[in-house]
Structure 1
Amino acid sequence: MNKTLRSITLGKFVTIASAGLILVSASASADTLDFSGLSIGAQGSTVLVLPNATITSFGSDIYVGAAGIDHEICALTGGGNCEADLRVDFSTAVNSLSFVTSGWHSGDHIDVNVYSGASLLGTVGHSSNGLVDLSAFSLVTSIYLDDSSIGGAGMAYDHFIFAPVPEPETYAMLLAGLGLLGFMARRRKESAV
């Protein structure tokens, strides 16, 4: 194989490998908070530790299955309603966060305070069953569900979906891949001359 053909073949391989590295390093898959392994009922604790988040109830307990759905949680008050405040601290910063509320009754309301570290990014009010879309916020490290329900039974929460923010090593791999592509493009241009 002559030198020019070998250089072109190597260049194509490096380009394909670099593009693959860039795609792998740049992609972030969706993640969820999974409550399916928990038994239905009171958990006997105000703190629930999951692999990707820690959930803290500011009431008497954390309850699973409050609105008759087996994979949802709520923060119980001493009176047995789901009206206590709840905080979710993510293990790493997340983007594209959303979750679903259920069990809403007239008078139920939450304010979702969204944080990145100690900085409050914003607050979203919610007074119905359905999707709470927090995808407008980036680098979210925690959310505080401030329940101000009056006369209802409180809400339950489920289907927390988010995209973990890539670690710095991922960005280093992305930069290395881009640098390799630039090097190969320069090398091709020089060998064409």
Structure 2
Amino acid sequence: MPMQHMLARWAAAAVLAAVAPLASAASTVLTFDALTEVDYLPAGYGGLDWSASTWTSFDGSGAAYAPHSGGTVVTLGWGATDADSLVRFGQAVTFEGAWFSGYTEGDVTFKLYYQGALVGTSATLAASATPSFLASGYAGLVDAVSISSTGHAFYAMDDFTFTTAVPEPETYALMLAGLGAVGLAARRRRA
């Protein structure tokens, strides 16, 4: 490969690396309100991988399972384990937390994972009939989260919240300007 092509590729990579930190964050809140039937949560719901879990959606307007927003919540069944609550993200995200309601036996704690390693554990929240937010307490990147509890059937979850990086328009403008400069430099070298 000619030297000018190698330099052009190196410069393009340097431009991309320089503009990557200019990305902003986009917060996503999964409300589960698009689910209208009592059923297992679809494996790809909200763009996440719920396939290792046994979450069930239902109308939370009765008893102690009050939704934080809308009317639908998700829960795990009797005999569920922490492994049954696992949710995988398609990319590394910052997990903010979720809202929980239920009975006092439904204490919940987040376990946060990145590349298979446990990287964070939240505080413990005792569920009540009034929805309460459980923050992850971890600002780093994660690619999976599970809920640890001694009574999985005693709580319901709503408004599952996480943040992904989304490039801003200025990022694209800088990247295009940098690539144009690299192309111009390569063209001048040839001439």
TM-score w.r.t. length of structure 1? 0.60
Structure 1 residue 166: Cα displacement = 4.6
| Equivalence for 1:176 | 175
Aligned to 2:88: 89
Q: Which residue is equivalent to 2:161?
A: 161
Deviation at 1:173, TM superposition (A): 4.7
The 2-side partners of 1:91 and 1:39 are apart by: 25
Counterparts of 2:159 and 2:37, CA distance in 1: 16
The whole-number CA distance in structure 2 between the counterparts of 1:178 and 1:97 is 35
Within 5 A, what are the aligned runs for 1:4-153?
26-41=23-38, 43=39, 45=40, 48-56=43-51, 62-66=56-60, 67-69=65-67, 70-77=71-78, 85-103=84-102, 105-124=103-122, 125-129=124-128, 130-149=132-151
The answer to whether the 8 A contact 1:100-1:158 is kept is yes
Query: Is the contact made by 2:26 and 2:163 (CA closer than 8 Å) also made in structure 1?
Result: yes
Look up the equivalent residue of 2:160 and give its one-letter code: F
**1:1-55 CA-partner distances (Å, limit 9, x unpaired):** xxxxxxxxxxxxxxxxxxxxx7xx52222112241111142x1x47532142122
Coordinate RMSD, CA, aligned: 3.6
Q: CA deviation at 1:58?
A: 5.2
Shift of 1:109: 1.5
Q: Tell me if structure 1 keeps the 8 A contact 2:48–2:89.
A: yes
Local SS of the residue matching 1:131? strand
Q: State the distance in 1 between where 2:166 and 2:78 align.
A: 37
Work out the CA distance in 2 between the residues paired with 1:48 and 1:68. Answer: 24
Amino acid at match of 2:119: L
Structure 2 residue aligned with 1:3: none
Contact 2:108 2:127 in 1 (8 A): no
Relative to structure 1, is the Cα distance of residues 153 and 87 closer, same or farther in structure 2, using a 3 angstrom cutoff?
A: closer
User: Percent of counterpart pairs with the same letter?
Assistant: 19
Q: Tell which structure's C-alpha radius of gyration is larger.
A: 1
Gaps of 5+ in 2: 1-18, 180-191
Of the two structures, which has the highest relative contact order with CA contacts closer than 8 Å and spacing of 6 or more?
2
> How many pairs does the alignment contain?
148
Contact map agreement 2:57 2:74 (CA 8 A) in 1: yes
